[in-house]
Each structure stands twice: as C-alpha cells, then as structure tokens.
Structure 1
Amino acid sequence: VVVVVVVHMVAVVLLVVRIVAVVVIVVHIVVVLLVADIVAVVIVVGKAALVVFVVATVVVVDIVAVVVVVAVVVVVHI
C-alpha cells in the first residue's frame, strides 16, 4: 500500500513538474515574441523617423536654397 501511495505521489509530482515546465516554456516563448514584436516596432518607428527627418532636412534645405536664390535675384535686380 505504501509503495502504491509513494508511486502515486511521485507520478503526481512529475505531472505537476511537467505542467509547470510547459507553462514556463509557453510564458517564455510569449515573452520572447512580445519583446521581439516591441523591438521590431521600435526599429520600424526608428526607420520611419529617420526617413521623415531626412526628407524634412532635404525639404528645408531646398526651401532655404530657393529663398536665397530669390533674395539674390531680387537684390541684384534692385
């Protein structure tokens, strides 16, 4: 009887350990995926911000160049 109880307890403990292990693994995978998603989003946003910054810089430089050219032309004509 004692042997049966011990075997049963061991089986239950093993089952619990397996369940915990599976839960830990699943949680770990989910966390890794979430972190990966967050990193991916940050990278995408970073790239978008960089593109916007570059485009804005080019546009501003173009505008400044146009203004300077117009100013020079106006001054020369005066």
Structure 2
Amino acid sequence: VVWVTVVWETVVRVTVVMVVVVVPVEVVMVLEEVVVVVLVGVVVVPVVVVAVLVVVVLVVVVVKVVWVTVVWETVVRVTVVMVVVVVPVEVVMVLVEVVVVVVVLVEVVMVL
C-alpha cells in the first residue's frame, strides 16, 4: 500500500508537472521559434531586399550623376576652349591672311 501510494503519487506528480509545466514550456519555446522564423521571413528579408534595392538605386544614381557631370563638364570645357581660344585664333589667322593678300595686291598694283 505504501509503495503503491508513493509510486502513484510520484507518477501523478510527474504527470502533473509534465502537463502543467514542461509541455506548455516546450510549446511556448516552439511557438517562439515559429514567431522568430516568421518575423525573419516577414520583417528581416523584406528589409534586406529593400536595403539592397536602395543601395543599387543609389549606386546607379551616383554613377549617372558622375557620368553626366563629367560629360557635361567636358562639353562645357571644350565649348569654352573653342569659343575663347580656337575661334578667335582662327579669326585672327584669317584676318592676317586677308591683310597679307591686300598688301600683296597693293604691291602688285604699285609695281604695275
């Protein structure tokens, strides 16, 4: 009787502890893992995807801006050099040639 009572009480206590404490704790731990996996899938993955997309867009924008700036500056510099240096030099050279032709013509006329 004592043995049955002790064994029975022990079995009941262990069962109660398992049902009331251990199983709910295990269920909660599994649910926590599920929640973590869901949160990672729902929050972290989209955030990482958005972050990667933002970085890609920023890189593309920076490359385009730098490229446009470099090309634009080059075009502006070439245009400025053409207008400020090359065209006036060409005009002066043509004027010098005209003066030379006029001088030669005047000398030819004077000789005649």
Q: What corresponds to 1:38 in structure 2? A: 55
| Counterpart check, 1:77 vs 2:108 | no
Q: How many corresponding residue pairs?
A: 78
Q: Report the TM-score when normalising by structure 1.
A: 0.76
1:7 correspondence with 2:23: yes
Give the match for residue 24 of structure 1: 40
Matched position secondary structure for 1:18: helix
Distance (whole Å) between structure 1 residues aligned to residue 38 and residue 74 of structure 2: 52
**Is the aligned partner of 1:59 residue 2:89?**
no
- Which has the greater radius of gyration? 2
Aligned identity (percent) is 46
The amino acid across from 2:36 in the alignment is V
- Structure 1 runs (4+) deviating above 3 angstroms are none
Q: CA RMSD in A?
A: 1.9
Q: Which runs of 5+ in 1 are unaligned?
A: none
